[in-house]
Amino acid sequence: MANGTTLMSTATSVLDDVIVSKENKTDDFVIDVPGTLWRYGWPPLCMMGLVGNTLVLLVLRRDGLVRTSANVYLSALAVGDSLVLMVASTVWYPVLAWGWWLVDVSTLACYAAGYATGITLENAFTWFIVAFTAERCVVVRFPLLKLRLCTPRYAGLCCGSLLVLNIDLFFMDAIVVSNDVRRCLHCSVALP
């Protein structure tokens, strides 16, 4: 009887090990799905976005279409979207797809990533949409002001001003002071 019990407990133990092994393989697969999607889904999506933005710029830069303020905003948005795709590809794609945090290389890399992320992903190009919407509201609501305010020159000044106003914002959101040591939120590098 003892032999049968030992054999049964050994078989149960082996069966439990097989079940646990299968569960771990499934868990590993489920955990790796986002990484797999990033690894193989992002590059084609990024390339389609860059090609689409390039085509938008080519269409908007034709001779007759350059003279409107709306096309200045749309061109700025196409350039901004391309920059977002490139920054996401260089800064965030290695992290999300492979787990490589390239920003830890040096303080300069940290500052560059903070600047690129802050200027493209967070602040400036979102405000371009707000400015474009405000300009369209002026065109509809105040048609007499349209000739004076809604010009390509003012649109360019507005986009340039928004970029300048957003330059200092990326410095403020990434620096944390703890125990009298300034650290960046984007990386683990101690800042001077």
Query: Highest mean pLDDT range out of 4-13, 32-41, 58-67, 138-147?
Result: 138-147
Question: Does 122 have pLDDT greater than 70?
Answer: no
| Angstrom distance (rounded) from CA 69 to CA 135 | 9
pLDDT tens per residue across span 149-184: 889 999 999 999 888 877 655 555 455 555 555 555
Task: Count structural domains, the chain.
Answer: 1
pLDDT tens per residue across span 101-111: 666 666 677 76
DSSP state of 65: T
**152 located within any domain:** yes
Going from the C-alpha of 120 to that of each of 76, 92, 159, 187, the distances in angstroms are 12, 13, 13, 18
pLDDT at 137: 93
What range defines the domain where residue 60 resides? 2-184
| Angstrom distance (rounded) from CA 126 to CA 82 | 14
Q: The tokens of 60 are what?
A: 């908007």
pLDDT at 81: 86
**128 located within any domain:** yes
**190 located within any domain:** no
**191 located within any domain:** no
More confident residue, 73 or 100: 73
Mean pLDDT of the chain: 72
Going from the C-alpha of 95 to that of each of 88, 92, 187, the distances in angstroms are 10, 5, 12
pLDDT tens per residue across span 3-19: 545 444 444 454 444 44
pTM of the predicted model over 0.75? no
CATH classification of the domain holding 128: 1.20.1070.10
